[in-house]
Amino acid sequence: MAAAVKSLRLRSGAKINLGLAVGGRRPDGYHELVTLYQTIDLWDELSIARSPRRGVRVSCSDRSVPRDGTNLVARAHAALDAATGRLPGVAVHIEKRIPAGGGLGGGSGNAAAALVGLDRMFGLQLGIARLAAIGASLGSDVPLFLAGGLSLGLGRGERVVPLPDLARRRWVVLANPGQHVATPEVFARLARARRRGLTPPDTAGTIFALLLERGMGGESLSALENDLALPARELVFGYDRLVTQLRDCGAELAVLSGSGATVFGLFGSGRVARAAARSVVADRVDVVRTVSRRDYWKRLLPVGEPRDGPEGPAA
């Protein structure tokens, strides 16, 4: 296996869950999900450089992100190494702009970008389906970043069905309370509430109804919900206040993303979204846009061209 490229820079994306239905707990401990993923215009940047040392060295601009073998980029390299026999060593630097542990899938996006980048760098040509299967072994949210745009997530979230893009791009106000919420804890709290007799809303039904309505030209997202909002609001500081503020500012939908702690509001106009961002009180507030599948891939793939150019024909 000869490397065609010595170094590569890629962007790595973020997502929101426009809707998220949590079903039963499976024997493997995961919950059945039905979710609508949407990629957004917020990016980390990955610089991958070939290294004479075996394995992978990870550095990151955010000190709260682990740099050891548990980092999803390191795990992506190890998984590709196992799948291909022997992968050359690399050093990867992650420039973080997506808040870590915020329900925006930043770490999963890093893993997906690393899979795409390493595949390209070493001319592996594994194809998206194989990369998505490897990605699924790293985390439930990794395969969605190998689809991009709007997609339906099934199974534990790793079975991804790409959907036609939203008819209108939306503006998204991301309000991050600066907290790390542990995903297993949020799922466990929901399961406890259900055992105590909580009747779950028919969130999956709402998602499927929306998908059918889209086929007939409708696209109102306002009825969507996130089942994890119920347990997360006990953990996310000021959750109800954030949702109310975003709704009062005219959000079409205001809800938790993933298992939190980020709360987002969807807006049809940039002016209204920016005004909402000014009035929302949170640790960090970003205004971004939804990203279509085509734009997602245009933005993800190498930033500039490979810096060292082709090294010769790939073996």
Contact 235, 185 (CB under 8 A): yes
Active site residue 298: no
143 vs 265 by CB, closer to ligand C5P: 143
Residue 95 beta carbon to ligand C5P: minimum distance, rounded to whole angstroms: 23
154 vs 272 by CB, closer to ligand C5P: 154
Contact 255, 262 (CB under 8 A): no
Residue 81 beta carbon to ligand C5P: minimum distance, rounded to whole angstroms: 20
Residue 108 beta carbon to ligand C5P: minimum distance, rounded to whole angstroms: 7
Residues that bind ligand C5P (CB under 6 A): 30-31, 33, 139-141, 156-157, 183-184, 187
153 vs 302 by CB, closer to ligand C5P: 153
DSSP strand pairing (56-60 vs 90-95): parallel
Active-site option among 15, 44, 165, 227: 15
Contact 127, 84 (CB under 8 A): no
Active-site option among 119, 141, 165, 286: 141
Residue 173 beta carbon to ligand C5P: minimum distance, rounded to whole angstroms: 25
Q: In angstroms, rounded to a whole number, what is the distance separating the alpha carbons of residues 100 and 107?
A: 7
Q: How far is C-alpha 289 from the chain's CA centre?
A: 14
DSSP strand pairing (284-289 vs 159-162): unpaired
Active site residue 62: no
184 vs 217 by CB, closer to ligand C5P: 184
Give how far Cα 310 sits from Cα of 1, 91, 122, 152, Å.
14, 19, 11, 37
Known catalytic residues? 15, 141
